[in-house]
Structure 1
Amino acid sequence: MKKNLFIACCLCSAHGLMAQTENANSLIRDVDGRLGVGNYTTSTFDSRYEGIKGSPLFISEWISGQMAFVDGKVFNDMPLKYNAHTKELLMKRPSGDSLIVFPYQVLSFTINDPVTKANFTFKRYPKSQTSKYDMRDVYFLVLYEGKTSLLKLVSKTLKKADFKDPYSNNVRFDTYEDANEYYLLKADGNMVKVKRSKKSVLDVLSDKEVAIKALLEQEKIELKSERELVRVVAKYDAI
């Protein structure tokens, strides 16, 4: 990320939210400004390259949503996107340009998908404890929330084209690929990674291993879907 970004903010919508722009400089920065200037590089054009396939975004279209800030303010009907590759929340202003909302100012945001009618709520957990890395500024998609919460780290990686080497796979385009991870946030604040596998689930929920193992066997849960993982965590909470 370039240091010479232009800091800006306009927490407003087409419905007359122009008055909600106080303390803007600390909230949002200009997306277009991220490109910066200088440090240009050049390369010869290779006609075999076919560009990029896929999208870095959670949902490609601008979708109406809500943002809840750490100071208690809530903004509704905001056009939002979430970049799963850079882990950045984007907001569209009435003027048509896009802005990046600084994560340390946001507690949560919700995207309301008009196609599936589903509401996707993302939250930050700045007080969580994890041995993997610092998660304070990372948004998690909430799949289940209770005494124990099941969270999804929505992520995408960019796989580069591979066609120039004599032993390459002849893939002539870059591709955005899903690289999602799942975490359990327990009542004591510990956040641990969990996979959709019997071994991983039993390891993470080892304090109630006998009951969870019986559940998996009796109900023939194979943990092939997120819905099944949610069922197991909800049952864990209920035991």
Structure 2
Amino acid sequence: MKLFKISASVALLSLLTLFATNDTAAQDNDIDYETVQIATGTTIYSEDVKDIQGSPLIKESFENGRILFTNGKASEVLPINYDSYKNQVLFIKDRKVMVLNTNGVKGFMFLKPENFEQSDNVQEVFSYQVRNEAFGFSEATPVQLLYNQGTGLKLINVHETSLMRGNSKDPFTGKVIDRYVSGVTHYLEKKNGEVVKLRRLRDKDIINSLDKEYRKQLKNFMKESNLDGRSQKDLAKLLTYYDNITAGNS
């Protein structure tokens, strides 16, 4: 049984040497990589002392990334994580896990991993710049942008965590254990602003959510280009193709 205890996590994280300094290109080519110090007003991250099975964090360990600001600049490289239960962006500074003050923050991104070229995943970029009501958010919430080239067409992952209350005691300890339940929901935002919930992150689900008149053409593109319908990078190629053939129609 894996128990999430923030005190133990902080102690472990303070010993990690995660501070790689290699720059990386974000999906947003307009980012100015001037080193920007994180603004004041942050608080130290804390979690309930009570034992809870699992973790609300989207990363098993903090990973290097940058905070992205609405003025087009990006922060210094920092170890980052996201608590999808509390809706808090976390970073490590001076061996402390801090909660980001999101005033003036556009989003955040993780640096590309060493095996990025061999991976099927796109770079992990999260943005606050979505219509919260379209996703049922009661407050500003970052979403993962798998595809966003400024045409209005977006492929989005929403990371969410709920807390399931325990209803029985552990037979060995006698404790009632709660647990975090995490999941990712996939959405396609069309050029007209309509947001469609996808059953799976697959080419077929995306194609069937787009205009009927283009579906055969899109299927042929996937087949002729020998693309993998489960690869994030290949799905981005599919949406780029769709953007190109529908340019000027929206």
Pair in the same fold by TM > 0.5: yes
Structure 1 residue 122: Cα displacement: 1.0
Residues 109-188 of structure 1: pairs in structure 2 closer than 5 A: 109-112=108-111, 114=113, 116-117=115-116, 119-126=123-130, 128=131, 131-134=134-137, 137-146=140-149, 147=151, 148-163=153-168, 173-188=177-192
What is aligned with 1:54?
A: 54
Q: Deviations over 1:96-115 (max 9, x none)?
A: 22221133421121112657
Structure 1 residue 80: Cα displacement: 1.2
Structure 1 residue 230: Cα displacement: 4.5
CA distance in 1, matches of 2:111, 2:167: 37
For the 8 Å contact 2:36–2:76, the answer to whether it is kept is no
What is aligned with 1:106?
A: 105
Structure 1 residue 70: Cα displacement: 1.8
Change (3 A) 1:74 1:137: same
Instruction: State the identity %.
Output: 20
Change (3 A) 1:213 1:54: same
Tell me the TM-score normalized by structure 2: 0.60
Structure 1 residue 142: Cα displacement: 1.8
Structure 1 residue 58: Cα displacement: 1.2
Structure 1 residue 79: Cα displacement: 1.9
Residues 8-19 of structure 1: pairs in structure 2 closer than 5 A: none
Structure 1 residue 215: Cα displacement: 4.4
CA distance in 2, matches of 1:216, 1:19: 42
For the 8 Å contact 2:37–2:76, the answer to whether it is kept is no
Change (3 A) 1:62 1:134: closer
SS at match of 2:239: helix
For the 8 Å contact 2:68–2:107, the answer to whether it is kept is yes
Please tell me the root mean square deviation across aligned C-alpha atoms, in Å.
4.1
Structure 1 residue 227: Cα displacement: 6.1
Q: Which amino acid aligns with 1:29?
A: T
Change (3 A) 1:161 1:227: farther
Q: Which amino acid aligns with 1:99?
A: M
CA distance in 1, matches of 2:132, 2:97: 33
Change (3 A) 1:236 1:160: farther
Q: What are structure 1's unaligned runs of at least 5 residues?
A: 1-12, 36-48, 165-171
What is aligned with 1:237?
A: 243
Residues 28-39 of structure 1: pairs in structure 2 closer than 5 A: 28-32=42-46
Tell me the TM-score normalized by structure 1: 0.62
CA distance in 1, matches of 2:36, 2:208: 51
Change (3 A) 1:214 1:120: closer
Number of aligned pairs?
Answer: 198
Change (3 A) 1:138 1:129: closer
Structure 1 residue 145: Cα displacement: 2.5
For the 8 Å contact 2:36–2:73, the answer to whether it is kept is no
Tell me if 1:93 matches 2:98.
no
CA distance in 1, matches of 2:181, 2:78: 27
Structure 1 residue 153: Cα displacement: 0.7
**Which is higher, the Rg of structure 1 or of structure 2?**
1
Change (3 A) 1:86 1:226: farther
Q: Deviations over 1:81-105 (max 9, x none)?
A: 11122221112111x2222113342
For the 8 Å contact 2:45–2:98, the answer to whether it is kept is yes
Q: Which amino acid aligns with 2:111?
A: N
Q: Which amino acid aligns with 1:31?
A: Y
SS at match of 1:233: helix
Structure 1 residue 132: Cα displacement: 4.4
